[in-house]
Amino acid sequence: MGTYYLKNYLKMEIFSAAEKDLQPSIQSQGGYEWWYFDGISHDGKYTFVMIFYRGNPFSHRYIRALEEDSSRALPAQYPAVSIVLYKYGSPIYYSFTEYPKEKAKFNSSGPTIQMGKHTAKQEETEGGLQYVLDLDERLPSGDEFYSRLYYKGIKKPVLFDDGTSNVNADHGWNLTQPRAEVRGEFQLQTDGEKKGTINFKGTGYHDANAGKNPLRNDFKDWYWGRFHFEETTLIYYLMNKRDERQEYAWLLDGGNNVIQSFEEANFGDYGYSVFGLYQSHKMEISAGSLSIQIQQSEVVDNGPFYRRFISDAFLYDRDAEYLQKATGITEYIRPDRIYWRSFWPLVSMRIRQEDEKPHWVQRSKRLYRWTW
């Protein structure tokens, strides 16, 4: 098992500033930004992940434009939205849609993102901060999806600074809602039948990432995850950069105060996926009397350059002699593999262009679900 020490390098800007959220900031060729939302129901039955992209880093069209050094190789040209809803760890709805640049709008009043019929809006409530997500999509296969979700958390986390330091960093991470109470509903239609309304109550997470360069230029690989324990939240962000490791991990209390920064990470149980992706499946993060073991056991998205897990974390305090368990979402990505053209036919089956004729697999209910 390898051991790495967690350090804060100044090449990355880390902050928590709600007033900067849901706003475009990257204009450089090959740049990207995304706004990430997830949630797990209190009973563990449903899990979802929804991401708004500006400069979709997985887009073949974007990659080709970059290789041609084209004036079209700008983030604003490649907006996208990905949606996945899991039931007991199995996807019951999946979509990844790229939109024409004209269908991506950003409104500083709110603020609000709109891509196609999908919107994410930030609102201030009495004593809190709320995000409202409306997603509405019909796929070429005939599947339909609608959701309205409310993310309610405290007004301003005190985890990081106000985002004014290290403004020339290549990568920025804005963590505005480490923990939120999520409520709302999903409505699905599959196989031509309406599945009724799924009422959702659970715990969620929201952040935003932005980079000035293509992912592969800065990162060799990267592990990310979050776990909500009874009264605390663990967030880790472990990146293997081209020239150094850059790693962060914190345990937060209910007020988003850092109660422990972690100094050491141990990686183990390495193995290959069916696509030859080599990664660790077990991690231990520790500092002082605290030790957190993470087991990435249930793969819910298994791609050639990206994997998502519903994982378990065990928090142990040697001094207090207590053990807590939490279920959370973890991810691993190897960005250079996005450029391996041998994988592009598989990716083309999953990502559709809203303004173009859909891939023939996407028009088939059975075959498209096979790509999930």
**pLDDT tens digits for 322-339?**
789 999 999 999 999 999
Q: Are 38 and 179 in contact (CB under 8 A)?
A: no
| Residue 10: predicted pLDDT | 36
Peptide bond into 91 cis (omega under 30): no
- Tell me the average pLDDT across 3-26: 71
Checking if the pLDDT of 202 tops 90, the result is yes
Q: Mean pLDDT across the chain, nearest whole number?
A: 89
Tell me the pLDDT band of 248, cut-offs 50, 70 and 90. confident
- Tell me the average pLDDT across 178-184: 96
Q: Choose from 39-43, 264-268, 335-339 the range with maximum mean pLDDT.
A: 39-43
Pairing of strands 144-154, 171-190: antiparallel
| Residue 166: predicted pLDDT | 53
Q: Are 247 and 7 in contact (CB under 8 A)?
A: yes
Q: Are 37 and 49 in contact (CB under 8 A)?
A: yes
Rounded CA-CA distance 363/372 in Å is 14
Tell me the pLDDT band of 1, cut-offs 50, 70 and 90. very low
- Tell me the average pLDDT across 24-35: 94
Checking if the pLDDT of 25 tops 70, the result is yes
Tell me the pLDDT band of 242, cut-offs 50, 70 and 90. low
pLDDT cut 90: percent of the chain above it? 66
Contacting residues for 159 by C-beta, under 8 A, at least 6 apart: 16, 175, 178, 250, 252, 256, 257, 258
Stretch among 94-103, 169-178, 307-316, 345-354 having the lowest mean pLDDT: 169-178
Considering the four listed CATH numbers 2.40.30.10, 3.30.420.40, 2.40.370.10, 2.40.128.260, the one that applies to the domain covering 2-370 is 2.40.370.10
| Residue 276: predicted pLDDT | 93
pTM of the full structure: 0.93
| Residue 155: predicted pLDDT | 73
- Tell me the average pLDDT across 187-200: 86
The DSSP symbol for 369 reads H
| Residue 245: predicted pLDDT | 64
Stretch among 59-63, 65-69, 207-211, 224-228 having the lowest mean pLDDT: 65-69
| pLDDT tens readout for residues 152-169 | 998 766 566 544 455 567
Length of the chain: 372
Identify the three-state secondary structure at position 43. Answer: coil
| Residue 70: predicted pLDDT | 80
Stretch among 40-54, 145-159, 165-179, 220-234 having the lowest mean pLDDT: 165-179
Cβ atoms within 10 Å of 259's Cβ, excluding its own = 12
**Amino acid found at 215:** L
The residue assigned the tokens 């709110």 is 110
- Tell me the average pLDDT across 211-235: 92
Rounded CA-CA distance 165/25 in Å is 15
Higher pLDDT, 285 or 322: 285
Tell me the pLDDT band of 3, cut-offs 50, 70 and 90. very low
Give the pair of three-digit tokens for residue 314: 């065990």
Helix (H) / strand (E) containing 152: strand 144-154
Tell me the pLDDT band of 318, cut-offs 50, 70 and 90. confident
Tell me the pLDDT band of 291, cut-offs 50, 70 and 90. very high
Alpha helices in the chain (DSSP H): 60-67, 215-218, 344-350, 365-370
Contacting residues for 102 by C-beta, under 8 A, at least 6 apart: none
Contacting residues for 261 by C-beta, under 8 A, at least 6 apart: 6, 249, 250, 287
| Residue 128: predicted pLDDT | 87
Tell me the pLDDT band of 243, cut-offs 50, 70 and 90. low
Rounded CA-CA distance 321/62 in Å is 52
- Tell me the average pLDDT across 26-39: 95
